[in-house]
Amino acid sequence: MPDAIRFDPDALAWDKQQGLVPVVVQHADTRAVLMLGYMDRPALRATLETGLVTFFSRSRQRLWVKGETSGNHLALVALEADCDADTLLVQARPAGPTCHLGRSSCFAGAPSDFLAELDALVARRHRERPVGSYTSQLFDGGIRRIAQKVGEEGVETALAAVVQDDAALLGEAADLLFHLLVLLRARGLALADAVSVLRERHGYPMAAEAACVFDL
């Protein structure tokens, strides 16, 4: 059971929609909007207690845990009410496709953060080490080899900026970003950790200050 920062369900405007509040679910890492559902008080309570996003099904007239039959649960990461206290934003990590059609999102064209998706792929390569994967080869080569590659790509990016065209610069910059993700992961870090440093430097609130956040 997750140890939640205090969130007061009584602060929500339950009476506006006959005891229900709409819930926008967003991927905690890629920021893609995954789905829209509804919660009543028991659904919100179950979500907070179990860490699995639970809704009130208007068609079935009962609580349902997302993924209760498919296993594609939504693990709660953060929860926040909007300015009118009548809508919730839930950030979650999905265990599989969110949409019943097998898509990652119920919104087919939902935009997301591609760098975060790539970072998640790098993390999977780090765990699984599939044979034939270039990323696996980098991890198998060790931290020094990965650091060397980042250095090489950094130099090549700088040189491209001075003596080559935009296409060459963009290609080298893409190579540098990829190898930097691998280097961070090899040290047990993620892209989000570096982004958090940037957020703090620029005065943005950390997630724990903005929402009810879970240490999972």
What are the pLDDT digits (tens) for 120-139? Answer: 999 999 999 999 999 999 99
Quote the CA–CA distance of 165 and 141 in Å, as a whole number: 32
Quote the CA–CA distance of 175 and 98 in Å, as a whole number: 31
Query: What is the domain-level CATH number for residue 21?
Result: 3.10.20.810
Looking at residue 211, what is its pLDDT? 55
Mean pLDDT check: name the lowest of 87-91, 186-190, 208-212. Answer: 208-212
Quote the CA–CA distance of 173 and 163 in Å, as a whole number: 14
Main-chain dihedrals φ then ψ at residue 59, nearest 5 degrees: -75, -40
What are the pLDDT digits (tens) for 1-27? Answer: 444 446 789 999 999 999 999 999 999
Mean pLDDT check: name the lowest of 5-9, 32-36, 184-188, 190-194. Answer: 5-9
End-of-domain residue from the set 84, 110, 136: 110
**Residue 132 sits in the same domain as residue 169:** yes
End-of-domain residue from the set 79, 110, 141: 110
Query: What is the domain-level CATH number for residue 166?
Result: 1.10.287.1080
**Residue 77 sits in the same domain as residue 91:** yes
- Residue 3: inside a domain, yes or no? no
**Residue 104 sits in the same domain as residue 183:** no
Quote the CA–CA distance of 165 and 36 in Å, as a whole number: 45
**Residue 106 sits in the same domain as residue 118:** no
What are the pLDDT digits (tens) for 51-91? Answer: 999 999 999 999 999 999 999 999 999 999 999 999 999 99
For the record, the structure tokens of 128 come out as 């699984």
Under DSSP, the state recorded for 52 is B
Q: Are strands 33-39 and 212-213 parallel, antiparallel or unpaired?
A: unpaired
Host domain of residue 88: 9-110
**Residue 157 sits in the same domain as residue 78:** no
Q: How many domains does the chain have?
A: 2
- Residue 156: inside a domain, yes or no? yes
End-of-domain residue from the set 93, 110, 127: 110
